[in-house]
Amino acid sequence: MEAFVSQCRDNKCVSANIPARSLRTLAVVALLLLASLTTASAALTASAAEAATSLPCDIYGAANTPCVAAHSTTRALYAAYNGPLYQVQRASDGARSNIGVLAAGGYANAAAQDSFCGATTCVITEIYDQSPRHNDLTIEGPGGAGGQDTGVPADALPVTAGGHQVYGASFSGRMGYRDNTTSGVARNGQPEGMYMITSGTHVNGACCFDYGNAETNNQDTGNGHMDALNFGTECWFQPCHGAGPWVQADLENGLFQSDSGGSKNTANTGITSPFVTALLKNNGQNFFALKDGNARSGGLRTTYSGPEPTLGGYAPMHQEGAIVLGTGGDNSNGSIGSFFEGVMTAGLPTDAADNAVQANVVSVGYGGPTGSTGTLSPASEISVRATTACCTGDYLRHQADKALISPVASGSSALDKSDATWIVRRGLADASCVSFESRNYPGDFLRHFDFQVLRQPMDGSAAFRSDATFCPVAGKNGQGTSFRSANYPAKYLRHYDNSVYIADSSGANAWDSATSWADDVSWAVAQPWAP
C-alpha cells in the first residue's frame, strides 16, 4: 500500500509514494501531532481529504500499479499535484518560464503562458513528470534515423479542458521529447502500462508518433527494446483494416496490432475522434494488450489482447527504460500528432483501473464549449455567414481541408454544423487581430496558401502564423465584418464560386473581380451552429 506526501525539488512540488512500513512510523508521529490540534481543525482536514478527486495516477496507485511517469500540458494527473506542468521559452529574449496549475489537482494556468509569451512566440522546452520519479522530458537530440528535434510551438493547440482554456502539444514533424536517464521505468521484461490522450484528426503515415518506453541511446538496438504506444496511419504489417489511425504497439522494428503483427480484428478500422484515448499494457513476458476509446464519451475498446509477437526477440521483452514522446526510439521523426496527457506505470494495470482512468478522462470534457459565443473575442465560438444577396443562408465552413461556403440550417447534419463552427483565437501573428480554429479539428486553423483559404494544423512557422491571421474591420458593404489578411493588407477573406480566397478588387486572379467584391468580403458573425 502507498500514500502521497508533498515534496519539492527546484521549486517543483510533487506527490511522493511512501511505502507502508514508513507510513507506520509516520503514523506514530502524526498521532502525537494530532493530539495538539483542535477538534475543528481535525474535522476540516478530514473534510478536505474526503473531497479530493482521484485522478489517473491516484487510480493506478490505488491499484498497486503506481505511475512512474505522468506528463501533461493540460492538467494535474494527481489530486495533490501543485507543481509545474511544462516550461516555455520566449523567442524574443530566450527567457524561460514554468507553467503550473491553477490549483492543486487542477488545470493548466494558460493565462500565465499568454502573459509571458505576450507579443512574441514560445516553444515548449520541457514537459515535467508529475510522479515522484522526476522523469522530465526535454527536447530530443539526434538519433539513428533523425537529427536534432525542436520543441512544439506553445500556442499551436488551444483547447478546452475542464471548462478551462489550456494548450495541448501539437507535433508537426522533427519535433520530439525524451529522457534517457529515467527512474522506475520497466526494463528487461518488467511489466508496465501506459496511456495517452491524442487526436484522431492530426495524424499521418510517417514514423513514428510514439509515447512510451524506448532505447537509452537514440538508436535501434533490436527487437523488443521498445514498448511504446504508437498512433497514426502507418501500416507496418498487413493486414490493416480501414484507413486508421490505429493504436499500435511500437516494440521496435515493427508497429504491432497483434502477435503476428497485422490486425486480427476486422472491426478495428481505426478511430478518428478529435480526442482519443490510446492504451497499451505489456507484462514483458508473454502478453500485451491494446485499447482505444473516445476521450470525450464512453468506455474503452480492446482491439487486441494476447501473446507477445511471434517474431524473435519479443518474448521476453528487452525494454531499456528511456521515455520518448513524438518520435520513434531511434528518433524517426517524420510523424505529426497531438498530445494532451499520458502516464506510464510500474506493473501491469488491471482492466478495472484502465476503465476508471477512462471515466476520469471523459469527465475532463476535452474540446467542450468555451463558454463564450457569437463575438470576435478570443475563445468565442462563432459561425460566419455570407451577406451577398445570393448566399445569405451560406456559412464559412471547411470540407476536405478547404474553406468554402454552403447552406447550413437547423436541419443540417451534425457534421455540417461542426464544419461551420470556429473558435476565435488571438491572432497568431498579431494579437490585435484574430485567427480561426476549427471546432472539430483541434489545432487546425484557417490559413491562406497561394491565395486559397485552407484548414491546416498550425506548425509554428512564421509563414503559417501570418497566413492564419486576419484583422477585423467594418464590413465593406456596410454589413457585418470584413477580415483583412495580416500579411496581404489589400486582400480580404472572400467567397467566390463557393470557394474562399483572400482577394482584392483589382488583382489578376478571377477571384479578384470587382463584381460584388464588397458584398463577398463582408460577413455576419453569428451564433455557432455546433454546441
Show which residues are catalytic.
252, 330
Distance spanning both ends of the chain, measured CA to CA: 44
Written as nine digits, the cell of 501 is 480566397
Residue type for 383, please?
S
Q: Which burial class, exposed, middle or buried, applies to 97 when counting CB atoms under 10 A from its CB (0-12, 13-18, 19+)?
A: middle
Residue 267: Cβ within 10 Å count:
9
Q: Which of 292, 144, 153 is nearest to 231 (CA)?
A: 292
CA distance to 193, 267, 302, 430, per residue, from 289 (Å): 9, 16, 7, 46
> Are the CB atoms for 324 and 176 separated by under 8 Å?
yes
Q: How many whole angstroms separate alpha carbon 153 and alpha carbon 175?
A: 10
- Which residues are within 8 A (CB) of 41 and not within 5 positions of it... i.e. 6 or more apart? none
In this structure, what C-alpha cell is assigned to residue 415? 457534421
Positive or negative CA dihedral for 283, 270, 338, 158? negative
Strands 288-294 and 301-306: antiparallel
Phi-psi region of 158 (alpha: psi -120 to 50; beta: other; left: phi over 0): beta
Q: What percentage of the chain's residues is helix, strand, coil (to nearest 5)?
A: 15, 35, 50
Contact call for residues 228 and 341 (beta carbons, < 8 A): no
Cα–Cα distance measured from residue 456 to residue 441, given in angstroms and rounded to the nearest whole number: 9
Closest CA to 242 of 284, 271, 208: 271
* Residue owning grid cell 471515466: 359
Q: What is the largest CA-CA distance in the chain?
A: 86
DSSP string covering 185-239, please?
---TT--EEEEEEE-TTS--SSS--EEEEE-SSSS---TTS-EEEEEES---SS-
